[in-house]
Amino acid sequence: MKRQAAEDETSTVLASLDLDRVRLNGGTVNKLQFEKGRLVAPALGPKKLVGAVLQGTSSDGQPVEVALCSAEPDAQDPQLFRYRIEVWHAESATWANPCIATHRAPSPKALAVAGVWDRSGARLDVPGKFTFACENGAIAKCIGWGYKPWELKDGQSLEALHQACTRMARADYCGSGRSHTREDAPIDMYDELGLLTRTRVATAGWDPELASFEAEWTPEGASCLSGTRDGQPVETVLAECPDRFEAGPKELGEGDRCTVRRKGGGGGAALLRNRSYGRHDRGNVPGPTP
């Protein structure tokens, strides 16, 4: 299924927020919890949490205060809430939205997601903490694409698939947090559980005849690849993480074939594949869908 790649997550995610350090209307909120895409507290609906101020840590490791300015259910999934948040900047004594505005999201919201992501893009379970992920970053985009880490598919948790998606969305081949994507780069992804399937018919902004197989993904990064989304030679990835990959073919079926693979076959089970335009003349590639 064709999607737009995520931007670099570094500047669009708050590393962690505390569930037990919440102020609201001069008092405190007890037993704040994360529940299937929204924040809940006893006797308080999601919208009644608006105005709360949470304590946490920003992506650069600094203490941060975050205010909940609005809370609205997602139009497609009412259980999932989108929050407008603002961060306090002591230097200028102002509150500001930490999420980067784009032409697609001029007033971006954030999703509340269980877990904490470090600078390498790895997800960690930390009791009492959660993440606000901006909607134009990989964590939130993968949820919007259907990989909700709190849900099950055929009895299997989607947590690992969601994490693999965050690596794929940023084209983080080495699993180091380094992105190799381009803004609004179109990608076609398809997974082992059949939540998303390969696009075989041309649509607005996507032509499968011009696309080529890019990589197969695990929660730790690519398990193998054939090209890069930003058009750099595959050798740049080999040089970036020389202990991770080695040259060598790997047949995946349905025309998908890697030219570089994990050494020793390590890296965990591959859950997701994608195609992109990285190796093609960009002048022939359709523009992104408005």
Domain boundaries, the chain: 9-137, 154-284
d(CA 74, CA 31): 24
**H/E segment holding residue 164:** helix 159-170
Q: Answer for the pair 181, 138: CB distance below 8 angstroms, yes or no.
A: no
Q: In terms of Cα–Cα distance, which of 194, 142, 190 is closest to 163?
A: 142
| pLDDT mean values, one per 10 residues, the chain (290 residues) | 54 74 93 91 91 90 93 93 94 93 89 93 93 93 96 96 97 95 90 95 91 96 95 93 94 94 83 84 44
The strand pair at 33-34 and 245-253 is best described as unpaired
Q: In terms of Cα–Cα distance, which of 96, 107, 191, 97 is closest to 145?
A: 191
- Please work out, in degrees rounded to the nearest 5, the angle formed at the alpha carbon of residue 281 by the alpha carbons of 242 and 180: 35
- For tokens 């949490």, the residue is 49
Which residues, at least 6 apart from 2, have a Cβ–Cβ distance to it below 8 Å? 186, 187, 188, 199, 203, 205, 206
pLDDT score recorded for residue 32: 93
d(CA 172, CA 175): 5
User: Residue 247: phi, psi to the nearest 5?
Assistant: -70, 140
Q: Give me 228's structure tokens.
A: 């890069």
